A and B are shown apart, each in its own frame.
Chain A
Amino acid sequence: GIQVEQSPPDLILQEGANSTLRCNFSDSVNNLQWFHQNPWGQLINLFYIPSGTKQNGRLSATTVATERYSLLYISSSQTTDSGVYFCAVVVGGTSYGKLTFGQGTILTVHP
């Protein structure tokens, strides 16, 4: 099956710093989503981004489908950004949206 690799596995920042999270995938994909899992375990949709670039406030994401990677940018980080960031993909050629998740990046933002 498809492999989804996220890096770095852990990231520690001071409030106000910027960061880039990466997601590599081993096959063509139909869909790609970025999620933030907060300390209470809730999975929050950040981006639905099978290709191209999107921005939402301090967060932006870019997916280069032909090169099989996606990047999540967090600018001016805040303590509320702490949690686990997951990338999840739907394998290309399938007729349904089963998500395959990466192992996540654990982000800790210190005040």
Chain B
Amino acid sequence: GAGVSQSPSNKVTEKGKDVELRCDPISGHTALYWYRQSLGQGLEFLIYFQGNSAPDKSGLPSDRFSAERTGGSVSTLTIQRTQQEDSAVYLCASSLSDEQPQHFGDGTRLSIL
């Protein structure tokens, strides 16, 4: 079946602009995660959604980052007033539940000029 879908695959933008990254999880998966992979920090957790529960935002690096998940399915990660240190690959994952393996999308490569 279809895997986790992320768009765009690449995004180049100027410093100070806002960006939106989209994630479409595997159908039926209730848990959705965002991670970031950068050269200096490796793979790090950003935010977690599970059903209708309040999201766990403990990994968001600053208040310029926000995310929402509409209708328990598609999620959007928004970065406002982008900075050069936001350049990274943003990965989305989903799982059937908390205790099931996570499946990753191909990521969005974000470059801030």
What residues make up the interface of A, taking CB atoms closer than 8 Å to B?
30-31, 33, 35, 40-43, 45, 48, 86, 88, 95-101, 103-104
A10 and B56 CA atoms in complex are apart in Å by 34
CB–CB B43/A96 < 8 A: no
Which of B13-21, B61-69, B79-87, B95-103 is the interface stretch?
B95-103
Which listed residue, B35, B50, B100, B106, touches A99 by the CB 8 Å rule?
B35
Whether B91 lies near A96 (C-beta < 8 A) is no
Residues of B within 8 A of A43 (CB): 91, 104, 107
Could you tell me how many residues of chain B have their Cβ less than 8 Å away from some Cβ of chain A?
A: 26
CB-CB nearest in chain A for B44: A101
Residues of B with Cβ closer than 8 Å to A?
31, 33, 35, 42-45, 48, 50, 56, 59, 89, 91, 93, 95, 97-104, 106-107, 109
Contact across chains for A33 and B101 when beta carbons are under 8 A apart: yes
Majority secondary structure, B binding face: strand
A92 vs chain B, min Cβ distance (A): 12
Pairwise interchain contact A98-B95, C-beta atoms closer than 8 A: no
Give the residue of B42, B44, B95 whose beta carbon is less than 8 angstroms from that of A97. B95
Q: Which of A31, A41, A48, A86 contacts B107 (CB 8 A)?
A: A41
When the two chains form their complex, are residues A99 and B89 in contact, meaning their CB atoms are under 8 A apart? no
Beyond A96-B31, A97-B31, A98-B33, 6 additional pairs, beta carbon < 8 A: A45-B104, A97-B98, A97-B102, A99-B102, A101-B42, A103-B42
